[in-house]
């Protein structure tokens, strides 16, 4: 009797193993993709304030999507210009968008090739914006007086997708 039960269980297990079973209670997730449209207010130039070291300028943008929401989407910003907090002797400008090297421009007219110091230099742009319920986002630019007469690049991206850039003259 015990041998028959063991045979039946073994045969049943073998059939289940060979045929298998499928759970159809949870439907498979389909991948969906949305197209996002992003526009940023164009800024050709910024008139630097003569009476303070730093000039603040807000740049606004709008994001929309067909089929998906945009609230709390993260927009990332970068620039090629930096300055040192508490130091009015000059500014740093990188060689390219992803470079850590560039030139320090001193207010006395001298220049020095160097590497970007992440611990002491402040970017002229906020690095992150969040899109609100209406699809609007903003970013504050903060160039300093020593940058007058130069031009800065401003880049923005969403996730890993590079979106666009603009050249802004600092007057």
Report the 10 Å Cβ neighbour count for 8.
10
Taking the model in full, what pTM does it have? 0.77
The Cα–Cα gap between 58 and 144 comes to 15
Report residue 53 CA to chain centroid gap.
27
The Cα–Cα gap between 51 and 145 comes to 9
Q: What is the pLDDT of residue 44?
A: 97
Q: What is the pLDDT of residue 90?
A: 93
Delineate the domains of the chain, giving CATH numbers in brackets.
37-170 (2.60.40.10)
Q: What is the pLDDT of residue 97?
A: 85
For the chain, the residue count is 171
Residues 6+ apart with CB under 8 A from 118: none
pLDDT by residue, tens only, the chain of 171 residues: 555 665 555 555 555 555 555 555 656 666 666 788 899 999 999 999 999 999 999 999 999 988 788 999 999 999 999 999 888 899 999 998 888 899 999 999 999 999 888 788 899 999 999 999 999 999 999 999 999 999 999 999 998 787 899 999 999
């Amino acid at each position: 009797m015990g041998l028959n039960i063991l045979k039946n269980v073994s045969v049943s297990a073998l059939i289940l193993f060979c045929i298998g079973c499928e759970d159809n209670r949870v439907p498979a997730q389909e991948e969906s993709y949305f197209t996002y449209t992003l526009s940023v207010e164009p800024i050709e130039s910024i008139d630097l304030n003569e009476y303070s070291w730093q000039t603040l300028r807000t740049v606004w943008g709008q994001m929309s999507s067909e089929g998906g929401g945009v609230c709390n989407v993260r927009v990332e910003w970068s620039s090629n210009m930096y300055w040192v907090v508490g130091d009015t002797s000059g500014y740093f400008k990188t060689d390219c968008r992803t470079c850590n090297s560039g030139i320090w421009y001193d207010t006395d007219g001298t220049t020095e090739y160097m590497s970007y110091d992440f611990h002491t230099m402040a970017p002229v742009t906020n690095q992150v914006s969040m899109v609100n319920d209406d699809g609007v986002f903003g970013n504050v630019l903060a160039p300093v007086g020593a940058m007058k007469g130069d031009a800065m690049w401003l880049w923005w991206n969403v996730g890993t997708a590079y979106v666009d850039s603009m050249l802004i003259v600092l007057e």
